Amino acid sequence: MSAGPAAPVSLSAGARTLPGMAEPIRDWWARRQFSRGVDVPYPVGTYREAWAPFPVLIRQYHPDLNAGIVLTQIPPAADVLLQWQCDAGHVFVATPEEQRSRPGRERRRSSWCPECVAAAKPKPVLPVGAWAAAGVPLPRTRPPKPTGGVELCTRTPDLPVGEPFTSVCAPKPASSVEAQLRAELGERLDYTTGFNAVRVRRPFFDHLEVWPDILLPELRIAVEYDSTGRHGLEHVGRREEVDRRKDRTLRAAGWEVVRIRTGRLEKLGPHDLQLAGLGKSAYAAILDEFRTIRGPFLVDAYLR
């Protein structure tokens, strides 16, 4: 991402595209040069902050494959076709939006490359009759969801909306840092521990409960620790929208959310904190945010 500004690109008459269609990088750049009347419509570094939470995409993008134009010169919402190269060497074409939203349920590095995903999950090539004749069991498929709506989990207890509880469905803590954060907060605040879920009003996927990383029941504050993870897949793209939905669901149940955002992740809510690490100053900032939400009189009453 250190290449200099791209040279002026000529716009050919035959390169015109229909509105709403993604266009090659050279044509897209030439249009911006023409509409802005400058050789470099977006200087290097213009969109550095927007791309910073996507280290995998920074690694996959090469200016020499894209007319010498640097990634930080390209708006994330631009409808432009870019060439990317994954760690395995596959070169493929995708728009910024396609790449940023590519990670889904899979938590592996190959999720960023369509060729690697296809190789990891090859589709069966034999017809159904051939599978049976060869004595090979058919691939397992998920049964369709009922047409009447989402089938909710029945293990959520019948509690008032907003009530914290210990859920049997909650996943195990995702990282050691999360455990460290919980322990450090426990040394500073005297709050009830052991809860891992909040009863909510509307379904969050197939549950009437959500599972924040840390719950402070006395303050009705949920704390989330967000990083991009080992493969740069966590809390980016579509998963960022899931985080936003989770926060809205908690707020509708009377809770407030404080997200500790690391790895250049941008804030999602009004009380999120962008922190480089969890030192003493970080915990002071977290407690100050609690005071902003619930007031110093209430928060300080629980200080150890």
Separation between Cα atoms, residue 226 and residue 238, nearest integer Å: 14
pLDDT at site 212: 94
pLDDT at site 134: 56
Residues 6+ away with beta carbon under 8 Å from 298:
219
pLDDT at site 276: 83
Chain-centroid distance of CA 55 in Å reads 12
pLDDT at site 46: 92
pLDDT at site 82: 93
Separation between Cα atoms, residue 10 and residue 26, nearest integer Å: 8
Q: What is the pTM of this model?
A: 0.64
Are the C-beta atoms of residues 47 and 17 closer than 8 Å to each other?
no
The per-residue pLDDT string of the chain (304 residues; one tens digit each, 9 = 90 and over) reads 444 444 444 433 334 444 457 899 999 999 999 999 999 999 999 998 888 888 888 888 999 999 999 999 999 889 999 999 888 888 989 999 888 887 655 566 677 788 887 776 655 555 555 545 655 555 554 444 444 566 889 999 999 999 999 999 998 877 788 888 999 999 999 999 999 999 999 999 899 999 999 999 999 999 999 887 666 666 777 788 889 999 999 999 999 999 999 877 888 899 999 888 788 889 999 999 999 999 999 999 999 9
Q: Which domains does the chain have, with CATH numbers?
A: 13-120 (no CATH), 164-300 (3.40.960)
HEC-encoded secondary structure of the chain? CCCCCCCCCCCCHHHCCCCCCCEEHHHHHHHHHHHHCCCCCCCCCCCHHHHCCCHHHHHHECHHHCCCCCHHHCCCCCCEEEEEECCCCCEEEECHHHHHCCCCCCCCHHHHCHHHHHHHCCCCCCCHHHHHHCCCCCCCCCCCCCCCCCCCCCCCCCCCCCCEECCCCCCCCCCHHHHHHHHHHHHHECCCCCCCEEEEEEEECCEEEECCCEEECCCCEEEEEECCCCCCCCCCCHHHHHHHHHHHHHHHCCCEEEEEECCCCCCCCCCCEECCCCCHHHHHHHHHHHHHHHCHHHHHCCEC
